[in-house]
Amino acid sequence: MKIVSHSAGVLAMTSGEWRIWSLSDGHVDMEATLLRDAGDNPFPATVKAEDRVRLSVNCFVVVSPDGQSVLIDCGAGGSWEPTMGKLGAVMEEAGIDPASITTMAATHAHEDHVSGLLTPDGRALLPKLDAILIGEDAVKGFLAKTHLATFRPLLKPVRDGDRLESGLQAVALPGHAPGHVGYALRTGEDQFLFFGDVVHVPALQFADPTISWGYDDDQPTARITRLNVLRQAASQGTWIAGAHLGRPGIGRVASKDSSYIYEPAG
């Protein structure tokens, strides 16, 4: 993997014949009490109700050697805090034409991953969009978002192991939300896993992957998924790319005793 350019909001890379971007949609400050130990108690025990942790919101664009462009997750649009919904401006900075993207691959149906289909001022971000890939168990959550009703005909459910036309492969990563999936990519030079919400607070969850997040629907399952993903990424040298991995949102993992060290790209 070679880094082509790096700014606060954009990391542009190449790997083999592929081009890959990590793009910032912004950030959101959330209650630190959402961090949970294995007994579902706030972690650390000294946390105060008013403490906040800052979560990055990252999206990724992958362009295959034959020129197919996929956006993986699309941020929050105008659905959440005004500190989010920056994807359109950041794509412009990166020189990515929104009309070049015909597929959006969602890791799950939470606001900060799908609502950016609409810009904060209510326009469709991707004018030529013709497919929204989403885990089949996440479809229900997407359909519940009435502000995204116009996109329903574009939904294309994916299952674990599905090989997608773009060269990505869907990988079930259960626990955080119904139908939570990642997208794996082998470029011939590197392997990547775009893993959505496996990690929310990198400063704590690599050192102790048993620490969970209050919005993980099924914390024990999310914990097992996180441990498996980090173990495999460390042993295989996989680049992990996550919505909430801070900036630049992509890096590698080294194992150390029973914990992990995150090494951000760039």
Alpha-carbon gap, residue 22 to 248, rounded angstroms: 7
CB count, 10 Å around CB of 39?
6
- Whether 38 contacts 97, CB under 8 Å: no
Q: Minimal distance in Å, beta carbon 218 to Zn ion?
A: 15
Q: Minimal distance in Å, beta carbon 34 to Zn ion?
A: 12
Q: Using the rule CB under 5 A, give the single segment among 10-18, 45-53, 96-104, 196-204 that binds Zn ion.
A: 196-204
Tokens matching residue 37: 């130990």
Alpha-carbon gap, residue 110 to 145, rounded angstroms: 9
User: Taking CB under 5 A as the rule, does residue 112 contact Zn ion?
Assistant: yes
Residue placing its CB nearer to Zn ion in the complex, 112 or 137: 112
Alpha-carbon gap, residue 111 to 142, rounded angstroms: 9
Alpha helix locations (H) across 15-95?
A: 87-94
Residue placing its CB nearer to Zn ion in the complex, 63 or 87: 87
Q: Minimal distance in Å, beta carbon 53 to Zn ion?
A: 13
Alpha-carbon gap, residue 104 to 131, rounded angstroms: 6
Size of site (CB under 5 A) for Zn ion = 3
User: Taking CB under 5 A as the rule, does residue 197 contact Zn ion?
Assistant: yes
Which of the residues 236 through 265 are near Zn ion (CB under 5 A)? 243
Residue placing its CB nearer to Zn ion in the complex, 75 or 88: 75
Residue placing its CB nearer to Zn ion in the complex, 63 or 133: 133
Q: Using the rule CB under 5 A, give the single segment among 9-17, 112-120, 157-165, 227-235 that binds Zn ion.
A: 112-120
- Whether 260 contacts 254, CB under 8 Å: yes
* Sites of contact with Zn ion (CB under 5 A): 112, 197, 243
